[in-house]
């Protein structure tokens, strides 16, 4: 039996395939340095694990409400008020199985065949794939290095048509680590002001920002407030990738459909996980764990970027957020795919091909610095050797 036609364009995740190949080489005894996975290398903070154990003992083991308990939704609202200065009502919040299901829920709830959705190029590619499953068209807007990874508003405006139903914004962005400025987002707001277009704002990296940068939510721009559905989660800032917990915050008018639809997709998120996630948010300031991890990421970023920019053939902008460096390899004369293969085979360093994230990724590779400083230092030494070898 052939799978449904709408799945025709779906293939295995190339990042996972690349990681599997590197693991295989490691199993054969090769020393490998992996900078592929967008997964913090820290343990989940102890106070969250304790809260989960307590929740299990307290009997939070039955079916949860589809949208999650009030304690969780209130914790999300309190977090947005505290960190982002945005007031929401718990009636606007729905728990999800990570930001990934949140993206699936939002896109599949609004996109019909032939609709168009604007997505960044480059971008973590679930959005394009989910649009494809809906039979909708992902129209790419560029985030280019020479434009400091900001939205080119002229290009952006030219891509909007009568079929545009949604715009995906992701700041800080995966794979480039770029953070959109308030002015840039205000430019977007102006363009969509008189249009019936939804903004889907992926804010999964909003706590991981550096050099005093603040990630601005489109929802904080008054004219976008009622057009924006926020996606966020616990995987990155709280190092909770395996817990599979996230949420959306939606204008109230969309709540009912999203609630019913998520019921069909996941029937709620494990009750004990939601209790622990609420504690993660409520007690965060007390334990300061997000900040401790953020500071460590910032140190690694500074070191890695410094070393890359000492080389002759590689360069990068200082990324303002997330834990990715988008390294320019154009001076090597190789395509991004050739470079990744060359580096893996000859030097045991694994990075992700930029083109996985869209055509704007050609000439770039993504480095995740969610790896130990020891690995980063060892890999940078090897990277200098690779750089010298390119001279020969």
Ligand X SMILES: Cc1ncc(COP(=O)(O)O)c(C=O)c1O
Q: Count the Cβ atoms, other than its own, within 10 Å of residue 159.
A: 15
* Alpha carbons 360 and 362: distance in angstroms, whole number: 6
Could you say which residues in the range 337-376 bind ligand X, by CB under 6 A? none
Q: Judged by CB, which is closer to ligand X: 248, or 380?
A: 248
* 174 near ligand X, rule: CB under 6 A: yes
- String of DSSP letters for 259-316: HHHHHHHTSS--HHHHHHHHHHHHTHHHH-HHHHHHHHHHHHHHHHHHHHTTSSS-B-
**Of 98-106, 177-185, 264-272, 289-297, which segment contacts ligand X by CB under 6 A?**
98-106
**Closest Cα to residue 167, out of 117, 127, 217?**
117
The binder of ligand X chosen from 120, 246, 270, 348 (CB under 6 A): 246
* 271 near ligand X, rule: CB under 6 A: no
DSSP strands (E only) in the chain: 33-34, 93-96, 116-121, 137-142, 164-170, 198-202, 228-233, 246-249, 324-328, 349-350, 352-353, 364-368
Burial class (CB in 10 A: 0-12, 13-18, 19+), 87: exposed
**Of 151-159, 233-241, 280-288, 299-307, which segment contacts ligand X by CB under 6 A?**
233-241
Q: Which two tokens stand for residue 311?
A: 């080389």
The residues near 153 (Cβ < 8 Å, ≥ 6 apart) are 184, 187, 188, 191
**Closest Cα to residue 237, out of 206, 216, 213?**
206
Shortest reach from residue 19's CB to ligand X, in Å = 13
# residues contacting ligand X (CB under 6 A): 13
Q: Count the Cβ atoms, other than its own, within 10 Å of residue 58.
A: 11
Q: Count the Cβ atoms, other than its own, within 10 Å of residue 38.
A: 20
Q: Judged by CB, which is closer to ligand X: 55, or 204?
A: 204
Shortest reach from residue 244's CB to ligand X, in Å = 7
Q: Judged by CB, which is closer to ligand X: 236, or 313?
A: 236
Shortest reach from residue 208's CB to ligand X, in Å = 11
* 296 near ligand X, rule: CB under 6 A: no
CB burial of 249-266 (b: ≥16 within 10 Å; e: otherwise) equals bbeeebbeebeebbeeeb
Shortest reach from residue 236's CB to ligand X, in Å = 7
**Of 25-33, 92-100, 207-215, 365-373, which segment contacts ligand X by CB under 6 A?**
92-100
**Of 21-29, 94-102, 190-198, 353-361, which segment contacts ligand X by CB under 6 A?**
94-102
**Of 96-104, 157-165, 211-219, 326-334, which segment contacts ligand X by CB under 6 A?**
96-104
Q: Judged by CB, which is closer to ligand X: 13, or 74?
A: 13
Q: Judged by CB, which is closer to ligand X: 15, or 383?
A: 15
* 233 near ligand X, rule: CB under 6 A: yes
Could you say which residues in the range 10-29 bind ligand X, by CB under 6 A? none
The residue of the chain with the least Cβ separation from ligand X equals 98
* 217 near ligand X, rule: CB under 6 A: no
The binder of ligand X chosen from 22, 36, 38, 304 (CB under 6 A): 38
The binder of ligand X chosen from 67, 116, 128, 202 (CB under 6 A): 202
The residues near 230 (Cβ < 8 Å, ≥ 6 apart) are 80, 201, 203, 217, 219, 248, 249, 250
Q: Judged by CB, which is closer to ligand X: 64, or 233?
A: 233
The binder of ligand X chosen from 60, 72, 110, 124 (CB under 6 A): 124
Could you say which residues in the range 45-84 bind ligand X, by CB under 6 A? none
Q: Judged by CB, which is closer to ligand X: 164, or 241?
A: 241
**Closest Cα to residue 37, out of 170, 311, 236?**
236
Secondary structure element (H or E) that encloses residue 151, with its range? none
Secondary structure element (H or E) that encloses residue 107, with its range? helix 98-110
Shortest reach from residue 126's CB to ligand X, in Å = 7
Binding site for ligand X (CB under 6 A): 38, 98-100, 124, 170, 174, 202, 204, 233, 235, 241, 246
């Amino acid at each position: 039996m052939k799978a449904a036609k709408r799945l025709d364009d779906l293939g295995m995740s190339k990042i996972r395939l690349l990681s599997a190949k590197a693991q295989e080489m490691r199993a054969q005894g090769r020393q490998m340095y992996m900078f592929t996975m967008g997964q913090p290398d820290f343990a989940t903070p102890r106070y969250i694990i304790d809260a989960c154990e307590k929740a299990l003992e307290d009997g939070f083991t039955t079916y949860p409400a589809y949208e999650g308990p009030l304690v969780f939704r209130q914790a999300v609202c309190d977090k947005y008020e505290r960190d982002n200065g945005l007031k929401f009502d718990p009636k606007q919040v729905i728990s999800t199985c990570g930001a990934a299901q949140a993206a699936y829920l939002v896109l599949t709830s609004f996109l019909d065949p032939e609709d168009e959705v604007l997505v960044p190029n480059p971008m973590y590619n679930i959005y394009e794939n989910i649009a494809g499953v809906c039979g909708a068209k992902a129209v790419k807007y560029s985030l280019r290095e020479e434009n400091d990874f900001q939205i080119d508003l002229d290009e952006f405006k030219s891509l909007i048509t009568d079929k545009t139903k949604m715009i995906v914004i992701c700041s800080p962005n995966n794979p480039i680590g770029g953070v959109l400025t308030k002015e840039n987002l205000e430019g977007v707001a102006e363009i969509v002001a008189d249009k019936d277009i939804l903004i889907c704002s992926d804010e999964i990296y909003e706590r991981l920002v550096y050099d005093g940068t603040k990630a601005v939510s489109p929802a904080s721009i008054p004219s976008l407030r009622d057009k924006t559905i926020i996606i966020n989660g616990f995987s990155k800032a709280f190092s909770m990738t395996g817990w599979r917990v996230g949420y959306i915050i939606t204008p109230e008018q969309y709540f009912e459909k999203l609630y019913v639809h998520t019921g069909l997709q996941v029937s709620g998120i494990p009750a004990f996980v939601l209790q622990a996630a609420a504690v993660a948010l409520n007690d965060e300031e007390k334990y300061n764990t997000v900040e401790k991890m953020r500071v460590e990421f910032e140190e690694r970023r500074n070191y890695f970027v410094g070393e890359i920019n000492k080389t002759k053939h590689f360069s990068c902008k200082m990324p303002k957020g997330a834990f990715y460096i988008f390294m320019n390899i154009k001076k090597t004369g190789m395509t991004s795919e050739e470079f990744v293969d060359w580096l893996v085979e000859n030097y045991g360093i694994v990075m992700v091909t930029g083109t996985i994230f869209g055509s704007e990724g050609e000439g770039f590779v993504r480095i995740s610095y969610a790896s130990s400083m020891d690995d980063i230092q060892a890999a940078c030494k090897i990277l200098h050797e690779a750089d010298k070898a390119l001279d020969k």
